[in-house]
Amino acid sequence: MKGFVKVVVATVVLVMIAAACSSNSSGGGTGTTAAPGAQGGTFSYVNCEPSSLIPHNNYEACGGQVFEAIFTRLVTFDFTTGDPVPAQAESITPSEDGLTYTIVIKDGWTFHNGEPVTATSYVDAWNYAAYGPNGYILNFFFDRIEGYDAMNTDKPTTTELSGLAVVNDTTFTVTLTAPFSQFEITLGYDAFDPLPAAFYDDPDAYNEKPIGDGPYMMDGAWKHDETINLTRYPDYAGTPGNADNIELPIYTGDAAWADFQAGNVDITLVGSSHIEEARTSYPDTLNAQAGSTYLYLGLPTYDPRFASKELRQALSMAIDRQAVISAILVAEQPANDVMPPSIAGYRGACQYCTLDVAGAQQKLADAGGWTGELTLNIYADDQILEQAMEAVANMWNENLGIDVKLNATSYNQYSAAIQGHKMTGPWWDGWGMDYPSPQDYLTPLYGSNGGYNVSGYDSPEFDALMTQGDEAPTLDESIPIYQQGADMILEDMPVIPWGYIGFNTVTQPTVTNVLKEGPLDNVALELVQVVQPAA
């Protein structure tokens, strides 16, 4: 998710926090179904300017919310259990060795331009995104598929993934380089969307008016920085959307909230700066839920001063998360696990995540105390976050007697220091998932080869557990294994769990049935109903 560490509590860029990378359409008919007669009408939902409307080249929530409505992907997630369910797919079947998946798609589906959705629509799109020279942002999502490396050398000799094969119009196979029990879940992400043949004629033109296979289609071209309008796709083969038209006006700042208060927009998300107002002004329609972004304070375990796990536990136990969240980061929820509640595998199992001053002082003593100043790092330009971290600094100071200094740097320097293992003290950070699997909250962050292992955690035992989870024959069997890994992290504390970004919606009385899309941070637009004025 683009720049999300920066925007996690940013009050200004509120809307960008909306979702982690994932989004999808529940056109397959999961979730609450519309009451008969509740169809029709137009509603508007606050959105932000997408970086691109080509799903394979977009990594942020503004685009994600659009794709939610204009695409139906292979897999969606059950609203209550969070389990993956086939949507555009008829069936997804792994082979005995877990290496090859046979994907059968539903017959008779069409893109918004009338083109049929076929196995080729998927295979060609994936090949295009995986081809290095195209420079697509989501390129790396395909690195588990056989043949990826050959397409991403300096001078690739092939433009097709050897692991993809079209069997017939509705069937194709995917061969992975190693078994991956979570593969079906990953198919719920935009990187695996199908594209119509029209895309390849002119990708730039496509970007201005994307053609998907979802319940809604573009109503006119993308009006940059103003609005994206959608209308119901009449020939949609799945469960049709409720409203006739959807407007997604684009905001860049706090003005969204002002516009909502003035009654000009029907649905908006609320961040920390306005949730108190929302509680008093819109108590009936405020729906506060934990989103999928996991926030934590990173710790430089590569720095010998932070090598002791007792010290890391002490730092964690000396913070009163709830107090900071109640007063300052009002839209968040305190963490009690290394993954948010919406993820299968969440237990709330953290034993060092609540304030325990005596326990923290004991742990600090066990660790041999702390000498000198502790630097708490933040990125510049988010003053609310600064206030929160100032409060954390005060707590470490009062409860552990540690002298804490806040250090703010520009975002670029900040992220370079994090990723280059150059941090000298704890830092504010967060992780947004790509797909709702416990694996995505563990391997990238703590695996010794993890893509975002910024704390420098390195444990062969943990790595082995992750591999074991990946090789589990079914999703259900993989979860307890990943949970063992989570237990290691909760004990070793390479990062201090902090909280989850809230996904808080408020609505005008003009709309009902505004639902968060299960584990994904989107509003399920196709389910929203417009209240028709009484005749």
Partner 1 sequence: MSRRYLIRRLLLVVPVLLGTILLVFGMVFLAPGDPIARLAGNKPLSPSTIAVMTQRYHLDQPFVIQFWEYLKALSHGDFGATFTGRDVSEIIKERFPVTLKLAIGAFGIELVLGLALSIVSAVKRRTWIDSSILVGTLFMITIPTLVVGFVLQYVFGIKLGWLPVAGVQAGWQSYVLPSLTIGLGLAASIGRLGRSDILDNMTGEHIRAANARGLPRRRVIGHHVLKNSLVPIVTILGLDLAYLMGGAVITETIFNLPGLGQSLIVGVRTSNGPLVVGLVMLFAIIFVFTTLIVDLLCARIDPRISYE
Partner 2 sequence: MSNRPTSDTEGAADPLDTVEGQTVTLWSDVRRKLKRDRRFWIAAVLIAIFVGMAIAPQLFFTDSLDPSQCELSDSAKGPSHAHWFGTDILGCDYYTRVVYGARTSIEVGFVVGTLIVTIALSLGSASGYFGGKTDMIISRFADVWFSVPTTLGAILLLSLFGGGGTLAVALVLVFFGWPDMTRLVRSTVIGGKHRGYVRAAKTMGSPSRTIMRRHVLPNGIAPVLVFAAYTIGGAVGGEAGLTFLGVGLRLPSISWGLQISIAQTRFTSDPYLLFFPSLFLSFLIGGFVLLGESLRDALDVKLIEDA
Binding stretches for partner 2 (CB under 8 A):
11-12, 254, 261, 272-274, 276-277, 280, 320, 323-324, 326-328, 380-384, 386-387, 389-391, 394, 406, 408-410, 413
From partner 1, partner 2, none, interface partner of 11 (C-beta below 5 to 8 A by class): partner 2
199 forms part of the interface with partner 1 (CB under 8 A): no
C-beta of 295: minimal distance to partner 1 in Å? 12
418 forms part of the interface with partner 1 (CB under 8 A): yes
From partner 1, partner 2, none, interface partner of 482 (C-beta below 5 to 8 A by class): none
Among 101, 189, 236, 431, binds partner 1 (CB under 8 A): 431
Q: How far apart are CA 248 and CA 318, in angstroms?
A: 43
Nearer to partner 2, 108 or 420 (CB): 420
| 530: β partners | 511
Binding mask 151-170 for partner 1 (x = CB under 8 A): xxxx----------------
78 forms part of the interface with partner 1 (CB under 8 A): no
From partner 2, partner 1, none, interface partner of 52 (C-beta below 5 to 8 A by class): partner 1
Report DSSP state, residue 104. E
468, 481 Cβ separation under 8 angstroms = yes
| Strand boundaries in 162-266, DSSP class E | 164-168, 171-175, 216-218, 227-232, 245-249
2, 49 Cβ separation under 8 angstroms = no
Binding mask 354-393 for partner 1 (x = CB under 8 A): ---------------------------x------------
81 forms part of the interface with partner 1 (CB under 8 A): no
3-state secondary structure 452-515: CCCCCCCCHHHHHHHHHHHHCCCHHHHHHHHHHHHHHHHHHCCEEEEEEEEEEEEECCCEECCC
C-beta of 378: minimal distance to partner 2 in Å? 8
Residue that is written with structure tokens 């509120």 in the block: 14
Q: Is the dihedral of CA 317, 322, 325, 331 positive or negative?
A: positive
From partner 1, partner 2, none, interface partner of 386 (C-beta below 5 to 8 A by class): partner 2
Q: How far apart are CA 460 and CA 465, in angstroms?
A: 9
C-beta of 156: minimal distance to partner 1 in Å? 8
52 forms part of the interface with partner 1 (CB under 8 A): yes
230, 246 Cβ separation under 8 angstroms = yes
Nearer to partner 1, 101 or 379 (CB): 379
Nearer to partner 2, 91 or 326 (CB): 326
C-beta of 380: minimal distance to partner 2 in Å? 5
CA 127 to chain CA centroid, Å, is 24
Q: How far is CA 36 from CA 81, 165, 242, 529, in A?
A: 25, 42, 10, 11
Q: Which two tokens stand for residue 384?
A: 């609310």
Q: What is the DSSP string of 349-408?
A: --SSSS--HHHHHHHHHHTT---SEEEEEEETT-HHHHHHHHHHHHHHHHHH--EEEEEE
Nearer to partner 2, 106 or 274 (CB): 274
Among 157, 412, 461, 533, binds partner 1 (CB under 8 A): 412
Q: Which two tokens stand for residue 205?
A: 């033109």
Among 303, 411, 471, 484, binds partner 1 (CB under 8 A): 411
222 forms part of the interface with partner 1 (CB under 8 A): no
From partner 2, partner 1, none, interface partner of 506 (C-beta below 5 to 8 A by class): none
Residue that is written with structure tokens 């009062």 in the block: 398
140: helix, strand or coil: helix
Among 83, 219, 244, 259, binds partner 1 (CB under 8 A): 259
- Contact residues: partner 1, CB under 8 A: 1-6, 12-13, 21, 49, 51-52, 57, 59-60, 132-137, 139-140, 143, 151-154, 224-227, 249-256, 258-259, 261-264, 381, 410-413, 415-416, 418-419, 429, 431-432, 434, 451-452, 454
